Amino acid sequence: MDLGLKGKVVIVTGGSKGIGNGIVKVLSQEGAIPFIIGRTESDVIQAASAVASEGREVGYAIAELTDPDQCKEAVDKVVEEYGRIDGLVNNAGVNDGVGLEGGSYREFIDSLNKNLTHYYMMAHYSLSELKRNKGSIVNIGSKTSVTGQGGTSGYAAANGGRNALAREWAVELLPYGIRVNTVVVAECFTPLYKKWIKTFPDPESKLKQITNHIPLGNRMTTAEEIANMVVFLLSDKSSHTTGQLIYVDGGYTHLDRSI
C-alpha cells in the first residue's frame, strides 16, 4: 500500500533499536526519509548505515534527549539538512523501575525526564515546521498508563502524560491541521524487554506465562506490527484520525486474559 510518504522527513527518537528501529524500517520502505535521534553514537550510526546500505535515504543526530538544548540542536540539524519536518515520532524511553516504595524524589524526576519531558521538547522545537507542512505527531505509549504494573511509578506516570499530551496537542493544533495520536504498546519483544526477561530465575517460563495471557495468538506483538500502525497514522490515509489512543497489543489491555 502506497501511503504517500515518499520524500517526507520524519523524526524518530530512539530510532536505532527496538520499536523505534522498526518504525525507521517501515518508513524507509514507504519512501520516507527517517531521521534517527538517539544518544548512543555507535547504535545510531549502525541503524542509519543499515538503511543507507539498501540505497535509501536516512539522516541522524546524536543527542541526549533529557537535555533541552540537545533536543533543539537535533531538530535544527534536521531542518538544516532537509529543509523540512513532516512528522515526529516520540518513541525514546525506558521502563526504569522507579517505584513508590523504593524510589526517591530525584529518581522519580529523572524518570519523567527520561520518558516524558523530551516528548514535549521535541514537539515544541519541531512545531514551526510541522505547522508549515501540516505534519503529524505520533507518541509511543505503554499499557502501564492504564493497567499499572507495580514498581514503576515514574514510567507509568510518564506514559499517562504521553496519553494526555496526545489529546491536549490534538486540540491545540487543530487550527494547523496537525494530527496527534498515541500508539499504546503492551508486550513487544524488544532488546530492553529481552534484558528484563533475563532478570527472572526462569526466563523461558516467565515469557510463556506472559504470552499465554495475550489473547490474539498467545504471542508477543512485533515491532513491525507497531510500526505499521505508526506509519499509517503519519500518513494522509489516516487524515481524519486525531486525539486517539490506539492499542496495538493483541487485545492484551482490554480483552479478558482468561480467553
- Strands (DSSP E) contained in the chain are 9-13, 33-38, 59-62, 87-90, 136-142, 179-185, 245-248
9 beta partners: 33
Distances (CA, A) of 159 to 39, 91, 198, 211, 259: 21, 11, 24, 22, 27
Q: Is 184 helix (H, G, I), strand (E, B) or coil?
A: strand
- Rounded distance, CA 195 to CA 76, Å? 34
Residue partners of 161: CB distance under 8 A and separation at least 6:
112, 116, 119
Angle between helices 153-172 and 118-133 (to 10 degrees): 20
Q: Which of 60, 119, 125, 155 is catalytic?
A: 155
60 is catalytic: no
Residue partners of 15: CB distance under 8 A and separation at least 6:
21, 23, 24, 34, 35, 36, 37, 38, 44, 47, 60, 89, 91
- Rounded distance, CA 101 to CA 97, Å? 11
Residues forming the active site: 155
